[in-house]
Structure 1
Amino acid sequence: MADTIDEKTGTGRTEQIRDTSSSDRDFRLEEIDLNSNRDAKIKNPLAGIPHDALMRNVEDFAREREMTDLTDLLKKGAQIAQRPSEFETIEGLTDREREVLRDEVLHRWRQPKALYFTVILCSIGAAVQGWDQTGSNGANLSFPQEFGIPDTEFLDAAKTIPNPNFTHNLWLVGLINGAPYLASALLGCWISDPLNNFFGRRGVIFFSGIFCLLSVIGSGLSQNWWELFITRILLGIGMGSKASTIPIYAAENVPASIRGGLVMCWQLWTAFGIFLGFSANLAVQDVGRITWRLQLGSAFIPAIPLVIGIYYCPESPRWYMKKGMYRKAYNSYIRLRNDPVLAARDLYYVHAQLIEESHIIGKSSYLVRFVELFTIPRVRRATLASFTVMLAQQMCGINIIAFYSSSVFVQAGSSPRTALLASWGFGLVNFVFAFPAVWTIDTFGRRALLLFTFPNMAWTLLACGLCFYIPEDSKAHLGMIALFIFLFAAFYSPGEGPVPFTYSAEVFPLSHREVGMSWAVATCLFWAFVLSLTWPRMVAAMTPTGAFGFYAGLNVTALVMIFFWVPETKQRTLEELDYIFAVPTAKHMRYQANVAFPYFVQKYIVRNKNAKLEPLYQMDKNLAEGQARSASISEKP
């Protein structure tokens, strides 16, 4: 069952999601269990349907959806979706239509302006997130004194004996810093599902933008620590709902071939927002007692174009389809694709896969959908994978630097101004090194980037911690600490930086996408709160060397979790991922341990040039031929 809205009356109704024709079922050559895909096959839901039956199905679909004026176009789209590698032989296609189909392979970045405008608006939302995160970084050097909770013991913990208020001050500073992440994890992320249901993706982004606009202004005007705490709680409501929605919105709008590169703009521009936040911290460093107010309040700047620009973007076609508004979905696709035939193809293909999803999922309430994250096997595997990559983002220790770099550098012996400059350098490295992921995330894949970067983040953090043993009066002391922090950021930015939000936005079926993303983002931001809360106390109790060493060990742990629990998703449509996550976790783990790891040892350690990797997934013939053709065309000069 699926909720729909009558476009003429505006009233709500409930209708059964059903096949447009029994022929779809009658002529399927093979059924794949989307809860237990033990053969790891990836299937085109239109494969095996005879031409005449497919055309009848399209006619029924167009009639039921009141789109009979588009019947001929939908027939073309259905044939292309069924035989993506054979579009040159499909009768009735114009030269223009064949040309745009070729361009999908030869010029995959040649996309409509509306698509790029949508991605830019999503990027601005990410910049808001990053700037919000770093405002408190510089403010940590002054707001505690303003409110009578000095944390000088934290900044100099390795050298002094703490006074009786030491522990209290550390926890209070950590609580204020972590308040947005606590509110996001407990409230902001979870309200995004019902908000999306009623207001759509754009409405939720507008809602969250208002919170991010007003709350940061309020934080800069706070007169005591609890007012600051409350405004940062309100900020967390906006941050959580925005972070749970924008990556989904981007993932649903962009083509599969460049989805990773465009959806990862969330992280690229979060990194840019972090850089802007550090720049703002540095710019107002010498204005006196209101420095921290300007550092916190300046984050309102990118929120203004976000709340204005979002209503110039098309709504997600998949959200319209979820609501039964197929005409509006087609109109959105028209704005997001280079030709109407591409819009018709994507509309019908997504519809066909939604039928497959409905066979195992159906309709459920919000609470039931949350429970189903852990009970429906296909959804549970996506829940585990998204949990792993999101938790790993905090296990890697990046937010040690994002939240507390100024304090870390002061503890390393720098002046406040030097600490802000060093933090600015970290923000610049974080932003610049995120750019390679735009191309590599869809080439090498999400999983490969993670497996490459986590070992490197582990040794750079460990080296950074050991550099605290260098005598403080040595010029190498601060320089080496900064060097390894910058190297850590350089490895983080193209790997664990862009992957978690991109990955989590794509792995859930449409029926559970909002609540699944809420779960994933809540996981990430809850542990960000834990990190923010505990770091001041941890560094005081364990010394910087011990604390950095602890997070280096967590990087190794995260690497093992990713190796066993995170499947690859690159260049798959959102609907094809149903088959990826239908493969049992045990089968995936056995493959990694018994096939993938021995191959890695043979190829990269033993240097056996003849080593071959037996693939886990077996693609449907149509999909395999289509990918092979795409690869061969791409390789031509």
Structure 2
Amino acid sequence: MADNARVRGHALTNFIAIIAATGGLLFGYDTGIISSALLQLKTEFHLTTFSEQIVTGAIILGALLGCIGAAPLSDKFGRRRTVMMAALLFLMGTLIVTFAHSVTTLICARLVLGLAIGAASQIVPIYIAEVSPPERRGMLVVAFQLAVVLGITISFFTGYLLRNASWRWMFGLGFVPASILFVGMIFLPNSPRWLAMQGEIEQARKILRRVRPTDAHAERELQGIIDAQDEQAPLRDLLKPWVRPAFVASVGIALLCQLTGINAVLYYAPTIFSDAGFGQSSALLTSVAVGVAMTCATAFGGWAVDAWGRRTLMLRLLPGAVISLIVLGAMFAIGATHGVGAWVMVVAVVCYTIFNTGSLSVAIWLVGAEVWPLSMRGSGMSLVAASHWGADLVVSLTTLTMVEKLGGSGTFWLFAAINAAGWLFVYRYVPETKGRSLEELESSLRDGTFAPVDRKESEAA
């Protein structure tokens, strides 16, 4: 009987994670498809380097606004309803961008899609984390990031397959997963932790009993939620001294996830490689290889965050990203963009993608959803998402300009230095959250034991 309940609980949490993570698929598809569509858009709309960056960056600005606005909505109306609102925005934005006939309409449509992406990035990881059991939380939350990179990979395949068709088809296909997300969320339960925060203890108990192996597990977890329960905290509490370690760890990873250059590669890889001498088809195929590498790295990361731990995964993989970027910059510096040199560049890009995506990109939404106390989790995760999208906006608006001013070599060497700084940051400030309940992590913040072991030992010495 207990085994049957465990199987049912696992199946339901898996189903919840899969449907909710469709928001990640849309996130990835709508951000990734621009890299292929740009090759047509800049010809049809006579885009300059600056206007290319505006069209690309519009979705990021929307995401920045969307993640900020999603926090109060998710706290007031619940995680599930907020995801449904994001799905409606995805549907609206997809329709507008598909039928856009001016640069202004294109930019406005990308802003609407950005609002949906920002809301999804803020709330879906929280929703999955609050429903998942501690021992499976890492894998299930990383399902969101896996869906993101799968969406990016699909966008690259779509861009290549539709390279001789209209860019409108590239954008219009996003309507399908948006519909799945909206309809699927209708049938999913609310977050038990959000329900408890609203005082609906019996409803929270019913949901926990459905997603945990035994009623005893559910009761223990519910009691932990009640014991840790606080009133919804105001925004100023995010800066309280006892919360600061969570702020530093989660926001730091969010900033590094973008400043280390991964989306610069995603958005502009076809353009950069096309300008370096690759044919348009070859440049698009390079993006497909990048997308496949991201998907494989994220799938591996979904296993590693629970097997190795979040912190260990980042510390082991980031040095590989540094080396890959140094090699890539060297190829640009010596002008080796043909023959063997071109293949070395492709391998370096793929390796960088594996090491960076498999570490920081896997950890960002997971650690962000884990470390904030329940009373400020919505606003805290909003801050994480805003940091991520703010940094992404800076990168998307400056990458082509950096390549023009610094060259490919200078740009990628700069990103290599930032990846190295990221390793030092993780070593110093990011604790291990593997296998710990959300309430245990909150308790460690309150009693001052949240910092990494290495940091505590160095301070003691």
Calculate the TM-score normalised by the size of structure 1: 0.69
Match for residue 444 of structure 2?
Answer: 580
Match for residue 134 of structure 1?
Answer: 32
Letter in 2 for 1:350: I
Q: Secondary structure at the match of 2:278?
A: coil
Q: Secondary structure at the match of 1:310?
A: helix
Distance 2:309 2:76 in 1: 34
Match for residue 592 of structure 1?
Answer: 454
Q: Structure 1 stretches of 5 or more lacking a match?
A: 1-95, 104-108, 150-168, 598-613, 617-637
Letter in 1 for 2:217: L
Match for residue 373 of structure 1?
Answer: 238
Match for residue 159 of structure 2?
Answer: 281
Kept in 2, the 8 Å contact 1:470–1:477? The answer is: no
Tell me if 1:477 matches 2:341.
yes
Kept in 2, the 8 Å contact 1:377–1:582? The answer is: no
Letter in 2 for 1:280: T
Match for residue 22 of structure 2?
Answer: 124
Residues 582/403 of structure 1: CA separation in 2 closer, same or farther (3 Å cut): same
Match for residue 4 of structure 1?
Answer: none
Which is further off, 188-197 or 526-535?
188-197
Distance 2:316 2:457 in 1: 18
Q: Choose which of 210, 213, 232 in structure 1 pairs with 2:91.
A: 213
1:120-269 correspondence runs (5 A)? 120-149=18-47, 169-185=48-64, 187-269=65-147
Distance 2:67 2:391 in 1: 14
- How far did residue 296 of structure 1 move? 2.6
Distance 2:102 2:313 in 1: 44
State the superposition RMSD in angstroms.
2.2
Kept in 1, the 8 Å contact 2:55–2:107? The answer is: yes
Q: In the TM superposition, what whole-angstrom CA distance separates every residue of 1:356-406 from its partner, at most 9, and x where no partner exists?
A: xx3xxx444xxxx222111x2232221111111101101221111111111
Tell me if 1:308 matches 2:183.
yes
- How far did residue 584 of structure 1 move? 4.7
Match for residue 327 of structure 2?
Answer: 463
Distance 1:471 1:204 in 2: 49
Q: Choose which of 208, 216, 223 in structure 2 pairs with 1:341.
A: 216
Match for residue 17 of structure 1?
Answer: none
Residues 214/493 of structure 1: CA separation in 2 closer, same or farther (3 Å cut): same
Q: Secondary structure at the match of 2:432?
A: coil
Kept in 2, the 8 Å contact 1:412–1:477? The answer is: no
Letter in 1 for 2:285: L
Q: Secondary structure at the match of 2:435?
A: coil
Distance 1:253 1:363 in 2: 19
Residues 473/529 of structure 1: CA separation in 2 closer, same or farther (3 Å cut): closer
Distance 1:112 1:254 in 2: 9
Match for residue 271 of structure 2?
Answer: 407
Match for residue 291 of structure 2?
Answer: 427
Residues 177/493 of structure 1: CA separation in 2 closer, same or farther (3 Å cut): same
Calculate the TM-score normalised by the size of structure 2: 0.95
Letter in 1 for 2:235: F
- How far did residue 594 of structure 1 move? 7.4
Distance 1:473 1:125 in 2: 37
Q: In the TM superposition, what whole-angstrom CA distance separates every residue of 1:214-256 from its partner, at most 9, and x where no partner exists?
A: 2022112111111111111111111111110000000000000
Match for residue 538 of structure 1?
Answer: 402
Kept in 2, the 8 Å contact 1:412–1:472? The answer is: no
Distance 2:342 2:444 in 1: 47
Q: In the TM superposition, what whole-angstrom CA distance separates every residue of 1:426-448 from its partner, at most 9, and x where no partner exists?
A: 10111012112222101211111
Match for residue 169 of structure 2?
Answer: 294
Match for residue 30 of structure 1?
Answer: none
Tell me if 1:550 matches 2:452.
no
Q: In the TM superposition, what whole-angstrom CA distance separates every residue of 1:269-308 from its partner, at most 9, and x where no partner exists?
A: 1111111111111111112xx2x22223322221111010
Which is further off, 192-201 or 414-423?
192-201
Q: Secondary structure at the match of 1:494?
A: helix
Q: In the TM superposition, what whole-angstrom CA distance separates every residue of 1:4-24 from its partner, at most 9, and x where no partner exists?
A: xxxxxxxxxxxxxxxxxxxxx
- How far did residue 593 of structure 1 move? 5.2
Give the count of matched residue pairs. Answer: 461
Residues 197/486 of structure 1: CA separation in 2 closer, same or farther (3 Å cut): same
Structure 1 runs of 4+ off > 3 angstroms?
A: 109-112, 469-474, 582-585, 593-597
What percent identity do the matched residue pairs reach? 28
Match for residue 353 of structure 1?
Answer: 228
Distance 1:539 1:469 in 2: 12
Match for residue 318 of structure 1?
Answer: 193
- How far did residue 411 of structure 1 move? 2.0
Q: Secondary structure at the match of 2:292?
A: helix
Tell me if 1:449 matches 2:309.
no
- Structure having the larger proportion of residues in helix: 2
Kept in 2, the 8 Å contact 1:133–1:274? The answer is: yes
Distance 1:474 1:133 in 2: 29
Distance 1:424 1:415 in 2: 14
Kept in 1, the 8 Å contact 2:153–2:295? The answer is: yes
- How far did residue 523 of structure 1 move? 0.3
Kept in 1, the 8 Å contact 2:277–2:338? The answer is: no
Distance 1:220 1:456 in 2: 39
Distance 1:473 1:584 in 2: 52
Letter in 2 for 1:349: G
Letter in 2 for 1:505: A
Q: Secondary structure at the match of 1:498?
A: helix
Letter in 2 for 1:344: E
Kept in 2, the 8 Å contact 1:280–1:298? The answer is: no
Q: Secondary structure at the match of 2:320?
A: helix
Distance 1:411 1:481 in 2: 14
Question: Quick check: which has more Rg, 1 or 2?
Answer: 1
Kept in 2, the 8 Å contact 1:413–1:472? The answer is: no
Q: In the TM superposition, what whole-angstrom CA distance separates every residue of 1:139-188 from its partner, at most 9, and x where no partner exists?
A: 11120221122xxxxxxxxxxxxxxxxxxx22221121011111221x20
Kept in 1, the 8 Å contact 2:146–2:299? The answer is: yes
Letter in 2 for 1:381: P
Distance 1:440 1:212 in 2: 31
Kept in 2, the 8 Å contact 1:115–1:336? The answer is: yes
Match for residue 502 of structure 1?
Answer: 366
